[in-house]
Structure 1
Amino acid sequence: MHPYPDAEPAPPPKAFFAFLWAGTRGLRPYLLALTVLSAGIGAFEALLFSMMGSIVDWLGKVEPSQLW
């Protein structure tokens, strides 16, 4: 993405979503990668909390004398 292109750029579209689409030209692959990675990290975080809940449930069922 060049901040100062050689030729004068075309005027931006008037519609809101068309403006957003035109404004993200050159950044779309990065935005897609960030979206996918954020979703993956969120799913992994939910899995970690689920595992931690399972450990807490397991510890609640076992008597302290059996753990140590």
Structure 2
Amino acid sequence: MNIRLNDKALALTTEEGASVAALLAAQAVAPQGVAVALNGAVLPRSRWPETPLVEGDELHLFTAIAGG
């Protein structure tokens, strides 16, 4: 399956594409301080494990940065 992650093409195995949570784990992304937008809409963290990825999905990961 092929998706786009942060504007870069990414080919996924079945396990990696099983859910948003599985993709983040496969990419070694720690969930603390991360927000996910799936196809232009913010996806609540509570839905990451149950949201499957499909061919052509676009994900953007955002991290919180402290500053002033």
**TM tier relative to shorter chain:** under 0.3
Q: Which has the higher helix share?
A: 1
Normalized against structure 1, the TM-score is what?
Answer: 0.21
Normalized against structure 2, the TM-score is what?
Answer: 0.21
Which structure is larger by alpha-carbon Rg, 1 or 2?
Answer: 1
Q: Relative CO higher for 1 or 2, CA cutoff 8 Å, sep ≥ 6?
A: 2
